[in-house]
C-alpha cells in the first residue's frame, strides 16, 4: 500500500529550512534506501507544502518519519496528515488493475 504524507508549512519556510535541511534530507534518503520513501519534495509556486509518498503495510512508516523529521520538530510544519493512496496504474502500483 502507498501512503501520502502531506505537510503544510510556515510562510517563511524557504528561509527557515536551511538550518535543518541537511538533517531532513539525510532522514529522507535513509528512508528511501530502506524502500519506505518512494518520492518526496516541496510543492512549488507557491512553496506552501510538501508531499512524500511512502510504501508499507501501514501508515507507521510515514508516522515514524514525521516523529523524527527536524522540520516538524522545529516548527516549520504547521500541519501534517497521512492518507492511504490506492495506486492502481503504473509500474510501481501497489494494487494494479488491468482491464481484460
Over residues 15-54, the pLDDT tens digits come to 999 999 999 999 999 999 999 999 999 999 999 999 999 9
Instruction: Report the distance separating Cα 37 and Cα 50, nearest Å.
Output: 13
Q: Is residue 58 part of a domain?
A: yes
Q: What is the CATH number of the domain that holds 52?
A: 3.30.70.1060
Q: Looking at residue 100, what is its pLDDT?
A: 87
Q: Is residue 13 part of a domain?
A: yes
Q: What is the pTM of this model?
A: 0.93
Q: Is residue 24 part of a domain?
A: yes
How many independent structural domains does the chain possess? 1
Q: Is residue 90 part of a domain?
A: no
Q: Which domain holds residue 25?
A: 2-85
Q: Is residue 97 part of a domain?
A: no
Q: Is residue 99 part of a domain?
A: no
Amino acid at each position: 500500500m502507498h501512503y501520502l504524507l502531506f505537510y503544510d508549512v510556515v510562510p517563511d519556510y524557504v528561509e527557515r529550512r536551511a538550518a535543518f535541511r541537511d538533517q531532513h534530507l539525510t532522514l529522507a534518503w535513509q528512508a528511501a534506501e530502506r524502500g519506505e520513501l518512494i518520492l518526496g519534495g516541496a510543492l512549488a509556486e507557491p512553496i506552501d507544502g510538501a508531499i512524500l509518498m511512502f510504501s508499507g503495510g501501514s501508515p507507521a512508516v510515514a508516522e515514524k518519519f514525521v516523529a523524527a523529521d527536524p522540520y516538524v520538530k522545529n516548527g516549520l510544519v504547521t500541519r501534517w496528515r497521512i492518507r492511504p493512496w490506492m495506486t492502481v496504474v503504473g509500474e510501481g502500483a501497489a494494487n494494479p488493475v488491468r482491464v481484460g
